[in-house]
Amino acid sequence: MGFPADWYDPEYRHGYVEAVVAEDIALQIRLNRERRGWSQKELADRLGTKQSAISRLESPAYGAQSIETLLKVAQAFDCGLELRLVPFSYLADRRHGLNRQYFYVGSFENEAVR
C-alpha cells in the first residue's frame, strides 16, 4: 500500500493514531448513548459518575479515557470492548468509507433476539 508523504513522518503517524482513537471512541459513546435514547445524565448515573464526565468522554478533544472507564461504558451499553494493536495500513484503510452505522453497537439483548 502506498502512503501519502505525511505518513512517513513518525510524529504525523502517531498523532494520527491518537486523533483517530479519540474521535472514534468519543463518537461511539455519544452515538450509542443517543441511539438508546439516554441523556448524558442517564449514562452518568449508570456509570456512577457525573454528567460532566460523560461530556468529556464524548469530546474528541479529551482523549484520556482509561481502559477501566471504557469497560464500564461497555457494561452500561451491554456490549463488548475490543482494544488491539494494528498495522498503520489497516488503520488507514478502515477509516475510509465508514458511516455512522459502523459506530453503533447493539446490546447483547438485541443480538440474542436474532
Q: Which long-range contacts (CB under 8 A, 24 or more apart) does 35-43 make?
A: 35/104, 36/77, 43/73, 43/76
CATH number for the domain harbouring residue 42: 1.10.260.40
Identify the H or E element spanning 94. Answer: helix 88-95
Which pTM does this prediction carry? 0.83
Which residue range is the domain that position 28 belongs to? 7-113
Number of domain units in the chain? 1
Q: What is the pLDDT of residue 36?
A: 96
Residue 1 lies in a domain: no
Residue 53 lies in a domain: yes
Residue 29 lies in a domain: yes
pLDDT digits (tens, 9 = 90+) for 50-73: 999 999 999 999 989 999 999 999
